[in-house]
Amino acid sequence: MKKSFILGVFAMTLLACNQTNPLLTNPQNEYGIPAFDKVKLEHYIPAFDAAIAEQKQEIDAIVSNPEEPTFANTIVALDRSGMLLERVEGVFFNVLEADGNDEMNAIAEQISPKLSELSDGIILNEQLFKRVKAVYDQRDHLGLNSEQMRLVTETYKAFADNGANLPEDKKERLKEINQELGLLSLQFGNNVVAETNAYQYFVKEEAELKGLPESAKAAAAEEAEAAGHPGEWLFTPKRTSFTPVLQYCENRNLRKELLMAYTTRANHDNANDNKAVIIREMALRIEKAKLFGYDNPADYILADCMAKNHQTVDAFLQSVWQPSLVAAKKEAAALQQMMDEEKMAQDPHTDDQILLQPWDWWYYAEKLRKAKYALDEEELKPYFELNNVRKGAFGVASKLYGLQFEKLENMPVYNADVEVFKVTEADGSYVGILMTDYFPRAGKRPGAWMNNIVPQFIDEEGIDHRPIIINVGNFNKPTAGNPSLLSMDDVETLFHEFGHALHGLLSKAHYKSLSGTNTPRDFVELPSQFMENYAYEPEVLKTYAFHYQTGEVIPDELIEKINNAGKFNQGFVTTELLSASILDMDFHELTTAEGLDVNAFEQKSMEKMEMIPEIIVRYRPTFYNHIFTTGYEAGYYSYTWAAVLDADAFAAFKETGNLFDEETAHRFRHLLEQGGTRDAHELYLEFRGKEADPQFLLRRKGFIE
């Protein structure tokens, strides 16, 4: 009996048994939004099993096709396979990251090996690779257009880069490595969430919170009451909880306590400790790289990026690191001087000096910003109400690209905090769906991100299947007395993730593996960071920064203060970020994990880069989700790489004298629409007409005149 027939019967049986499974039936709403509201825990594993079986059947149909391999029956068929699985994954993994729990984690541990096995079963399928290679070898004689040629090339590279050319024994070992890495990644992320949720610090006396804004105290009081401690204040390692303490609270011991709680997560030699996970992940990544003939994981990973190799990345990082470190040292000296003057005013008869520490930086930087620029972030927050800021981001997209955003009610969502927007062109034609989920909760991982729930592609009949995109964040949740008021950093984050969303929404690719954000990692941050440039432009601020109580538009003097302070503390910001990028590269340039001591390695890395002790690296290894969970290994540099691109791209608008110059916006939209259908470097050159100039970034940060 043919294998394809067996798989087909199996898939049909599973589907028949799960006719009521909302993950396996077409969504009932007109926009194709999954039935989040109907999905229950027991639906996930049967849905994954059915979807995996269906894709296996689709792959088997390609392999067993008696016709000669063609672009349509092999390359396109492969790209179109797995659509049911993508739908199931789009629901499960988004809910896992944004609203997970122990039961979801347990399901993830069950399905991770199955997904690794499926992926390896496709990418290491010799008969399938033969067909792909046959098309690839004759690609120049098939009359393919540029997008089709890109799909053929990227498909072949995906097989070759993931082991299709390896001998059989190495293929088997690669399968084992991939399965174990998948489980380790889940374990790492779960440990960080568990550590974050496990730590609670209760303050019993209000006097200990002197200097903390009333809004932050109200939020902490509500958290404490919900935790069964009425009359107290609860603080956690979530940024929305501890950041106001670092910025405003006079209690130095409390600042230290909370910063150390945040920066030592999963580093306590307990059940949630990630050091052993890191060592094992690095050992496997090194072994995997060597299977492909690379000395280290960095060069294996970077081969398909714009940078190409670790030497290019290291040189790039150093070119920005040195000026940022010089700026950070000047900033540290200014803060130390402020501390000295403050101590002298309090006790003029002592010569003892209190040295600036990491838990002092934010506090004294905020005081210095007030003194130097008369800018108090608490004075700004009333103008940055979440819904208004989001409207501001929508307004920028409308002015640049003509997009319109309509809130939809009564749509299926996985949590009541999620909101749904229909996105259309100026002429009313449909673009896609944007969902937003902005508030922290116990089951949500830290940070902010954009995901595809449903990808965009154009099928053989010319039907454009439009995407469903979600932006997720961890902003302040409204309290009984206040709406959600954002910090300046939060405002930039919202604009950043919305930039990713636009990249997905505007996609016009024919093939889903090339659509939207399926680009090199050191290019994918360009659209997001480009949007940040608009957040504090005076012309834009006046469209969204309204006082939440009075409705007053932000006054010109506050806008002037924001812009005057725009280069303030950039040494700290850039050094904190770049040190994490360099630490990432140091890990992934390792050629062996033997004898690796994670904490000692971090310390050695900081010493090598001459990191000043007043600053802690943005992500210490044991909670560095970017490189040990979310796929940014040897890739965190891409935020700075893309910053050079985004500063240069924004300069293109500035040079016209119009932030929304129609012709420039049209060219940038074209770049967004292409997704991964074109070479990233070629796309940027086409938009700008020249190479990106790093001087725009250095000037924006105030490192050069």
Confidence of residue 221 (pLDDT cuts 50, 70, 90): very high
Domain assignment of residue 173, yes or no: no
Mean pLDDT within 375-384: 93
Mean pLDDT within 228-239: 96
Tens of pLDDT, residues 510-525: 999 999 999 999 999 9
CATH of residue 624: 1.10.1370.10
Domain that holds residue 441: 382-564+638-700
Within 8 A by CB and 6+ apart from 658, the residues are: none
CATH of residue 657: 1.10.1370.40
Phi and psi angles of residue 607, each rounded to the nearest 5 degrees, phi first: -65, -40
pLDDT computed for residue 237 by the predictor:
96
pLDDT computed for residue 6 by the predictor:
38
Mean pLDDT within 197-219: 96
On average, the pLDDT of the chain sits at: 95
pLDDT computed for residue 515 by the predictor:
98
394 shares its domain with 366 = no
Where does a domain end: 161, 189, 213? 161
Q: Establish whether 497 is a catalytic residue.
A: yes
7: pLDDT strictly greater than 50? no
Measured distance CA(584)–CA(310) in Å, rounded: 11
Confidence of residue 16 (pLDDT cuts 50, 70, 90): very low
Domain assignment of residue 174, yes or no: no
Distance from the Cα of residue 181 to its chain's centroid: 20
Active-site position among 497, 525, 602, 633: 497
523 shares its domain with 454 = yes
662 shares its domain with 544 = yes
Tens of pLDDT, residues 249-300: 999 999 999 999 999 999 999 999 999 999 999 999 999 999 999 999 999 9
325 shares its domain with 457 = no
Mean pLDDT within 479-508: 96
Measured distance CA(311)–CA(317) in Å, rounded: 10
393 shares its domain with 509 = yes
560 shares its domain with 587 = no
Domain assignment of residue 109, yes or no: yes
Maximum CA extent, the chain: 94
Measured distance CA(634)–CA(232) in Å, rounded: 43
5: pLDDT strictly greater than 50? no
pLDDT computed for residue 252 by the predictor:
98
Residue 434 forms beta bridges with which residues?
Answer: 421, 469
Domain assignment of residue 462, yes or no: yes
Domain assignment of residue 170, yes or no: no
pLDDT computed for residue 276 by the predictor:
98
Confidence of residue 350 (pLDDT cuts 50, 70, 90): confident
Where does a domain end: 628, 647, 675? 628
Confidence of residue 15 (pLDDT cuts 50, 70, 90): very low
Where does a domain end: 603, 628, 653? 628
461 shares its domain with 395 = yes
pLDDT computed for residue 20 by the predictor:
86
691 shares its domain with 580 = no
Domain assignment of residue 407, yes or no: yes
Mean pLDDT within 638-650: 96
304: pLDDT strictly greater than 50? yes
Mean pLDDT within 565-589: 97
Q: Lowest mean pLDDT: which of 98-102, 344-348, 368-372?
A: 344-348
Confidence of residue 11 (pLDDT cuts 50, 70, 90): very low
Mean pLDDT within 575-586: 98
pLDDT computed for residue 12 by the predictor:
47
248 shares its domain with 280 = no
144 shares its domain with 223 = no
Tens of pLDDT, residues 94-104: 999 999 999 99
What percentage of the chain carries pLDDT values higher than 70? 97
Domain assignment of residue 193, yes or no: no
Phi and psi angles of residue 407, each rounded to the nearest 5 degrees, phi first: -70, 135
369 shares its domain with 436 = no
Report the domain count for the chain. Answer: 4
What percentage of the chain carries pLDDT values higher than 90? 92
Tens of pLDDT, residues 407-461: 999 999 999 999 999 999 999 999 999 999 999 999 998 899 999 999 999 999 9
578 shares its domain with 656 = no
Confidence of residue 19 (pLDDT cuts 50, 70, 90): low
Pick from 383, 386, 467, 375: nearest CA to 421: 467
Mean pLDDT within 154-165: 94
Domain assignment of residue 175, yes or no: no
Q: Which two tokens stand for residue 605?
A: 């890395």
pLDDT computed for residue 351 by the predictor:
76
Residue in the block written with tokens 């007043």: 614
Cα dihedral 683/685/689/690 (nearest 10): 160
